[in-house]
Amino acid sequence: MKNEIKEAEHKIIQRLLDEMYYFNIGNHYEAFKFMGAKASIESNQVGYRFTVWAPNAKQVYVEGSFNDWQEVALNKIADTGGWSIFIPNVKEWALYKFVIEDQHGVKKEKQDPFAFAGEVAPKNASVIQNMPTFEWTDKQWLTKRKQTNVFAEPINIYELHMSSWRKHADGTSYSFADLERELIPYVLKMGYTHIEFMPLMDHPLEASWGYQISGYFSIAGRFGHDFGPLMSFVNACHHAGIGVLVDWVPGHFIVNDDALANFDGTPTYEFQDPNRAVNNRWGTKNFDLGRKQVQSFLISSAIFWLESFHFDGIRVDAVSNMLYLDYDIGPWTPNKYGNNVNLEGVEFLRKLNNEIFLRDPSYLMIAEESTAWDGVTKPTSLGGLGFNFKWNMGWMNDTLKFFGIDPIGRKHNYKLVNFTFMYMHDENFILPFSHDEVVHGKDSLLGKMPNPNRYEQFANLRVLEGYHLLYPGKKLSFMGNEIGQFLEWRFYDQLEWDSLNRPYNSEFQHYIATLNQLYKDKSALHELDTDKKGIDIVEADDEIETTLSFIRKGKKTGDVAVCAFNFTPVERQKYRIGVPFSGSYKVIFNSEMKEFGGNWETQTLIFETVDVPHKYQPYSIEITLPSLAAIVLEPDKVQVTKKHK
């Protein structure tokens, strides 16, 4: 028996040595399977093995509710920087902390970096949780996802902050089970294709919205510790035909003493150089992305969320902070070449995307990147960062600035809308109207619109959203945008659902649902989003009357959508639009119809072409272009005599 126990102990030690080897060289992408508190049977006893990486600690201890918070010393895993111990008779949901003693004998209590759950702040103990046995039934969705060309599909993301979408009558936030019952039908009704959660990972400060993370493998305690309800939610979304994404923050982390900062008494997860470690802009710490163990930690985190919860992709926050050494305010240290490129950050992002797409090329890897860095969505084999989509922050900023100008002055700022055509295919873009645009005194989307009266304010908002959905690129909208919320988003309160009882709000919600459905149904509006052949710009020089028009095209010859916009409150009669085919064109969408809150009761549906070339198109039609409107026409009866240009 003694020999058997010794042999079993030897196997455990050898396994830990092997695991730590791959962790230390930066190639352990499932470190969550051995790090932290893991259920184990050793020496015929049931309990948990506690394992942590603290390379410069003098000694590491674990304490918990299972032993009246008495410190128990962990054993070194040779010279790997790892520490580990098995403790029998520990139960799931017990509380625990690591105690790190540094080389000066100073002890600090720390949360487990690999914990699957944590107490709700201000409490800070880690919570033992096993991965639940969940019966996934979304194989059909996953199979279809892998067979789909994502660039040719409609992607229209509903960005969600979980605890402020809706609240119960007593003020408590919705659980994942509540969202499964109510959010999924709502998203289906509104015509969105994906839900994107703002970070679900553990974060003690609610006001950080999840972007200052303390637990990279745990759901924030305020959302509920148990993984099962989130798995059920994602599974139900997939059955309903909805994809699910999650925000993730690998660039920086919270400075709290009980979390990752100076974990073993020295800079461990952050850079050694204070200029690189300290993030002054956000009051956080920057990950040392060149450290191999940090790479194992972070890539393991990404894979944990994607594979354990069947998420369809992740949106990587603050990529610019990982690309530039001088992105932060304050002093910075140049790289070995003397410039501002974060060489370690660039290589980490390439390594991350290579590993993710090696596992499943159908994932969405989305970069929130706000600069003109070249090749964010170019494959790593061609020198790019390897993401498949990037937020188009330039388009978003210029568009919102343009629409915030009084319509009388827009003709003097027309370059804000026509300049974006110069770079619309430089990357694979998502057009974001995100949470960042409706906080910190920026106003809601409705609040940004010029406000001579409520009708014109909503008319402007309808044109803005029409332009958003019809312009080339995938889409993202923050919750509340679709109901014309007036107040800025408040993380501590629910959306203004009662505003749907006011004039124009419910009509606007109906407008968004109709527009979303048009975007999904009309292949010309999404099929060639990332291809220059997918758009012909017809009118992009009309600053005087401040109109714009373009033709969106699908893969099949004849599959076109003629889109026209009037950015002023002046109706344009006999407005000429160049079109590619002779025959007739039918209006399929007009933002000024009364059902959407506009003034038009009836609409002339069919327009015949004339043999008058216009703006490089061989034929043209004349229409009445409503004031402050977006309008879409499609071929009705035409002679398709030539292929798309």
Question: Annotated catalytic sites, by residue?
Answer: 317, 368
- Written as one letter, the residue type at 282 is W
User: Which of 118, 223, 106 has its CA nearest to residue 174?
Assistant: 223
Contact 327, 321 (CB under 8 A): yes
Sequence length of the chain is 645
Residue listed under structure tokens 């990404």? 302
User: CA torsion sign, 100 to 249 to 364 to 129?
Assistant: positive
Tokens of 582: 């002779």
Strand-pairing partners, residue 367, are 316, 390
Report how far residue 15's alpha carbon sits from residue 34's, in angstroms, rounded to the nearest whole number: 10
Which residue carries 């790289």 as its tokens? 335
**What are the start-end ranges of the E strands in 460-546?**
474-478, 535-539
Task: Find all residues with CB under 8 Å of 337, minimum gap 6, and list them.
Answer: none
User: Which pair of structure tokens corresponds to residue 214?
Assistant: 């303390």
Closest to 624 measured CA to CA, from 595, 598, 600, 596: 600
Is residue 437 within 8 Å of 400, Cβ to Cβ?
A: yes
Rounded Cα gap, residues 101 and 105, in angstroms = 6
Cβ(490)–Cβ(466) under 8 Å?
no
* Ordered DSSP codes for 582-595: EEEEEEEEETTBGG
Residue whose C-alpha is closest to residue 20's, from 52, 48, 42, 47: 52
Q: Which helix (H) or strand (E) holds 566?
A: strand 560-566
Q: Calculate the alpha carbon distances from 261 to 54, 404, 505, 600 in Å.
A: 12, 42, 46, 60
User: In this structure, what are the phi and psi dihedrals at residue 349, rounded to the nearest 5 degrees?
Assistant: -60, -40
**Per-residue burial over 502-519, b = 16 or more CB atoms within 10 Å of its CB, e = otherwise:** eebbebbbebbebbbebb
